[in-house]
Structure 1
Amino acid sequence: MAEMTRVATDTLRGRMGWLHRWVGFLGGLVILVIFAGGTLTSFDTEIGRWMQPEIQRTTRIPLSDTLVEAARARVETLRQQGQNASIDLPTERDPVLRIRYGKADAAVKEALDPETGDALHARQTVGGQFFYDLHFTLDLGHDLGRQVVDCAGIALLVAIGSGLVIHLRSLFSDLLIFRPFAARPRAWMDLHVLSGILVLPFLISTAYTGVVAHSGAILPDLRGGHQPPEKAVSYDIPDLRPILAQAERIYGPGHVGSLLFGRNGVTATRADSATFLLMRDEADFSPTGELRRTVHHGDAVSISQQAFRGVHFARWVPLPLRWMYFGSGLAGAGLMTSGLILFLLRYRRTKEKDALFAVAETLAMTVILGFPASALFLLWMNRLLPIDFPMRSLWEWRSFFAMAVTVFTGALIGSFRRKSLFAWRGFLAWIGCLGLALPLLDSLTRPGWTAHLGANVFVAVDVVAALAGVAALYAWTRLPPGRQA
């Protein structure tokens, strides 16, 4: 009986190993991009501030009547021009008022000086929102992108489950062993297992809450058709000060997130950072500024959905916990990177001459090295493009994908010519140079940089970029001489 149990267990582990390898590799090519983008999304607001160095304010001040009236006048002007504008109120993370207008995938966000209400002439940029959108839809469009991302989340849960079955016997011993200077397969396996164990709760919660939060992308809404919209009413925007005052009495001081100007009045939304639950509550005001209704999503189903979204989006977390999210995301990215490399190492000896293996290595190299190279190149182009460059945000977007295509092309040539090591080493060196030189670029292109040394978003982005450069150069030194990685 014991022998039969052992054989059945070994058979199960063998089958789970096959499932883990192939689902892990094919899904990992997508999941790594999602995780890397999501990791940067932990500080998307701060990255956006780094990408607008003309805005030097670091602390939020109370809204002044001058600022509120200036925002109202600017929105009125944009509405007369046919733009659907909204107001994002200052927060601790982004202490300036911003007016948003344009298409959702190419929105313009104008910043107003908190004291005078004058427009801050900051460069237009894709900002940190770019990494959120990449994490959310892979830039494939809202519907298709969400479906692909949700399927990748399900694949991650399958890979986690099969990985647990494979390593369950040695789970605790693996937690205590890490041999970074061992032979490459052993070192990568140790990193893969250790990072998986350390961030296992984070991986499961992130994948599960991400799938649940956006399950509508896979499961259509079967509750019936939507109500037709009400007939639009032409109106002048009323005085916003009493609307803000009343909204703050409903949600609490500083907890109003934005003001939306719809077909029939003004809507004040609750800030996402107001509570652990991602409430999305609303207070609707008439065109004359009178409160008409409040929408509070407080039923049991809504609260459970809000909890999932709150855990996943982490808009409420304080700075130390935000860094914990960031570090866990990096560990998750390391888990997926090591998994892709282990897949290549497993099949290199027997399949290295096959075209399919060259394709696999090309895709793995593009994902592993293409994302950091493209992200750093985007930050460089943000500072190198002239401030008034036409369609500036579009060219930043193009620069990211142009670098990704460059990495793909180099990986493709290196893999099919069986000189992949040159491609790995070349792009690692390129990432190292981009990361280590970014702080110098920041100091040369940011006005008044010496006044902002210390703990702020500019220094944080520079330090993280430099550390990424150091990690890339360390990996470059660890690659042995030869033709194959």
Structure 2
Amino acid sequence: MRETLRTRMGWLHGWVGLVSGLCLLCVFATGTLAVFDTEITRWMQPETEGHFSTHPTDMALSDATTLLRSQQARGIAAFLVLPSARSPVLEILHYNGHEFVGDVLDPATGVVIPTRRTAGGKFFYNFHYTLRGGHETGIRVVNMLAMGLLVVVGAGIIIHLHALVPDVILLRLSTSRIRSWLDVHLLAGVLALPFMVMIAYTGILVHADTIMPAHSLLHETKKGRISSPSALPTPPLQALPPLSPLLSIAQQDLRGRPCGFILFGPARMSIFASDAAAPYLTRDHVDFSLPDGHLLGATLNTGQIATTMQLMRGLHYARFAGPGLRWLYFISGLFGTTVIASGLVLFFMKRRRKSGHLAIFRVAEGLTVASMTSLLTAILAFLWSNRLLPSTLPDRDGMEIDIFFAVWGLGALHALSRSLFGNPMSGWQEQLAAAAIMGCGLPLLDMVSAPQALIHDAAIHMGVDGMGLVAGLVALHAARCLQARTP
């Protein structure tokens, strides 16, 4: 009976893992990068070099609100983001259908910083939870994939639980290739298991309304969402009260939490608590009437259901996390990505001798190469395009995204053609070589194209350049290993 259960769980683990893993690999990889989405955006806007104060001056707030109101008068649903430790600038953002984009201002002078237009790290964040498939449809697909991940993880635990300890302790990297890959899969799985379960479960709860609508429970979330430029009514231009005193009042009413962003309506403005204030990610806010700045009241969601949902959102988004915890999320995401990637490799290694001649097998292997190496190359091309495209080019943020998908699509066609013609190893090697060149060359590109930013924001640039270099070295090592084993 036990062996029958393990056999059935093995089938479930393998096939559900294949079907969902091709997309989950992309979700996990971009989600891992989204942990540092703000830092990646700063890397992609080297014009913001320098050290800014996180406390904006009255003059800067006045200039920012004047610019924001002029944009609202043109029908742009803009809002004001206040400086924070991770992004010490004022931002006037609006939703373009995929990401929040807009102007960057100096918090001391209120002068608009002439930054290049870029999708930035927000692109990875958006791709992570929608796969660029539209807000509702994409979220629904990713939620279904997360459910599949929980099924795969549960089946994997049943399969390996009886011999998990010896399999993990006896890491046999020098034995057969299948045994080595299985040991890597198990070791990474054990290390990433708590994180994978947590991130999948909280991700499902965060967007549970897309599968099981529950408007009454999630009204708070929808209340603070800006979904399109028409979401806010166009207010008439009018004088505004000084913001600094109102921010102080709002912080007191928000129980000492710092303020994160401000929404302006025709007759009121709402100051929201910062997402980084606590593990409980809320949409608590304080409202003031316009134009006199009279306090209207505070909206604080403190019920048990609301508090639980706030904690689930906070754990998933990790916006409260400091540098140490953020790196832990990032490393755990890398382990989770390794689990999925090694599982896909194992699936094909075990079945190549029996089914390698089948067209469906070759298509599936080509798609796997596209999900792994082509995606890595596309991510690096996205970063390269940020430095190579002229900074004054119109719609350059859209062009960065177009280049990402163009490189990914060409990589997928290359992988499928190699696999269909019976030479999948060449597909792996050639794309790994391309990723190695781009990854190892990223620090040099950054040094040549943004030398001043490299000095002023050394930590940010060393982090992004270092991640690119590590990815390039890993790709180079993998390509050399494949070349050595190819007859």
Is the contact between residue 100 and residue 107 of structure 1 (CA under 8 Å) also seen in structure 2?
A: yes
Contact 2:73–2:235 (Cα < 8 Å) also in 1: no
Relative to structure 1, is the Cα distance of residues 176 and 85 closer, same or farther in structure 2, using a 3 angstrom cutoff?
same
CA distance in 1, matches of 2:235, 2:452: 47
The answer to whether the Cα contact below 8 Å between 1:422 and 1:483 also exists between their aligned partners in 2 is no
1:334 matched to 2:338? The reply is yes
**Structure 1 partner of 2:238:** 236
Instruction: Quote the Cα distance in structure 1 between the aligned partners of 2:308 and 2:168.
Output: 33
Q: Within 1, Cα distance between the matches of 2:235 and 2:102? A: 26
- Matched AA of 2:463: A
State the 1:66 CA deviation: 1.3
| Residue range with higher mean Cα deviation, 149-158 or 63-72 | 63-72
Aligned-pair distance for 1:83?
1.6
Instruction: Give, in whole Å, the separation in 2 of the partners of 1:191 and 1:161.
Output: 18
2:284 alignment partner AA: D
**CA displacement, residues 416-468 of structure 1 (integer Å, 9 cap, x when unaligned):** 111111110000010011110000000111141453375x1111100111000
- 1:362 lines up with 2:359 in the alignment: no
* Amino acid corresponding to residue 420 of structure 1 in structure 2: P
1:85 Cα deviation from its structure 2 partner = 1.3
> What's 1:72 paired with?
65
After superposition, residues 136-147 of structure 1 pair within 5 angstroms as: 136-147=129-140
What is the SS of the residue equivalent to 1:100?
strand
Which residue number corresponds to residue 40 of structure 1? 33
Q: 1:429 aligns with which of 410, 429, 433?
A: 433
Alpha-carbon distance in 2 for matches of 1:262, 1:104: 21
Aligned to 1:391: 395
Q: More displaced, 56-65 or 331-340?
A: 56-65
Aligned counterpart in structure 1 of residue 314 of structure 2, from 299, 310, 330: 310
Q: SS of the residue aligned with 1:90?
A: coil
Going from structure 1 to structure 2, the CA distance change for 1:446 and 1:232 (only over 3 Å counts) comes to closer
> What's the CA shift string for 1:388-442, capped at 9, x where partnerless?
1111111001011111101101011101111111110000010011110000000
Equivalent-residue separation in structure 2 for 1:225 and 1:270 (angstroms): 18
Letter in 2 for 1:272: D
Q: One-letter code of the match for 1:251?
A: L
- Contact 1:235 1:287 (C-alpha < 8 Å) held by counterparts: no
* CA shift in 2, pair 1:327/1:482, >3 Å: closer
Which residue is equivalent to 2:226? none
> Residues 40-85 of structure 1, C-alpha deviation per residue, up to 9 Å, x if partnerless?
0110000000000111134534211111111111112212222221
Q: Which of 396, 399, 403 is the aligned partner of 2:407? A: 403
> Given the alignment, which residue of 377, 399, 405 partners 1:373?
377
RMSD: 2.2
Aligned-residue offset at 1:243? 2.2
Shift of 1:483: 6.9
Matched, 1:19 2:12: yes
For residues 450 and 392 of structure 1, do their structure 2 counterparts lie closer, same or farther at Cα, with a shift above 3 Å needed? Answer: closer
In 2, Cα distance between the equivalents of 1:285 and 1:442? 45
| CA positional deviation for 1:105 | 2.0
Q: Distance in 1 between matches of 2:65 and 2:232?
A: 24
Aligned-partner SS, 1:274: coil
Q: How many residues align?
A: 476
Counterpart CA distance in 1 for 2:454 and 2:237 is: 48
8 Å Cα contact 2:268/2:287 also seen in 1? yes
* Aligned mates of 1:249, 1:64 — CA distance in 2: 19
Contact 2:105–2:113 at 8 Å: present in 1 too?
Answer: yes
2:473 to 470, 474, 483: 470
What is the rounded CA distance, in whole Å, between the counterparts of 2:367 and 2:297 in structure 1? 52
TM-score where L is the length of structure 1: 0.94
Change beyond 3 A, Cα 1:475–1:192: same
Structure 2 counterpart of 1:113: 106
Contact 2:47 2:453 in 1 (8 A): no
Give distance in 1, aligned partners of 2:318 and 2:217: 32
Instruction: Answer yes or no: is the 8 Å Cα contact 2:235–2:265 preserved in 1.
Output: no
Are 1:282 and 2:304 matched, yes or no?
no
Unaligned segments of structure 2, at least 5 residues: 224-230
Q: How does 1:446-485 map to 2 (within 5 A)?
A: 446-449=450-453, 451-452=455-456, 454=458, 456-480=459-483
1:388 is aligned with what amino acid?
Answer: T
Say which of 237, 242, 252 aligns to 1:249.
252
Conserved in 1, the CA contact under 8 Å of 2:52 and 2:106? no
> Could you tell me whether the CA contact under 8 Å between 1:59 and 1:92 is conserved in 2?
no
Q: Contact 1:365–1:411 (CA<8 Å) still a contact in 2?
A: yes
| 1:171 shift after superposition | 1.4
Task: Supply the distance in 2 between the matched residues of 1:418 and 1:298 (Cα, whole angstroms).
Answer: 60
- How far apart are the structure 2 equivalents of 1:278 and 1:79? 27
| 2:86 pairs with 1:82 | no
| Residues 341, 372 of structure 2: 8 Å contact kept | yes
> Would you identify which runs of 4 or more consecutive aligned residues in structure 1 move more than 6 Å?
224-233
- C-alpha contact (below 8 Å) 2:73/2:236 kept by paired residues: no
1:234 Cα offset (Å): 4.1
Amino acid in the other structure paired with 1:471 = V
* Residue type of the alignment partner of 2:470: L
Question: Aligned to 1:299, which of 299, 303, 307?
Answer: 303
User: Structure 1 CA distance, aligned partners of 2:94 and 2:84?
Assistant: 19
TM-score w.r.t. length of structure 2:
0.93
Q: Mean Cα displacement is larger for which, 236-245 or 406-415?
A: 236-245
Letter in 1 for 2:384: W
Secondary structure (helix, strand or coil) at the match of 1:367 reads helix
Counterpart residue type for residue 160 of structure 1: V
What does 1:133-172 align with in structure 2 at a 5 Å threshold? 133-172=126-165
Aligned partners of 2:172 and 2:183 also within 8 Å: yes
> Alpha-carbon deviations, 1:8-66, whole Å to 9, x = none?
00000000000000011111111111111110011000000000011113453421111
The answer (yes or no) to whether the contact 1:88–1:97 under 8 Å persists in 2 is yes
Q: Which residue of 2 aligns with 1:418?
A: 422
- Partner of 1:54: helix, strand, or coil? helix
Distance 2:136 2:415 in 1: 30
In structure 2, the partner of 1:3 is none
Change (3 A) 1:450 1:78: closer
Q: Does 1:95 find its partner at 2:76?
A: no
**What CA distance in whole angstroms lies between the structure 1 residues aligned with 2:239 and 2:43?**
33
Is the contact between residue 255 and residue 271 of structure 1 (CA under 8 Å) also seen in structure 2? yes
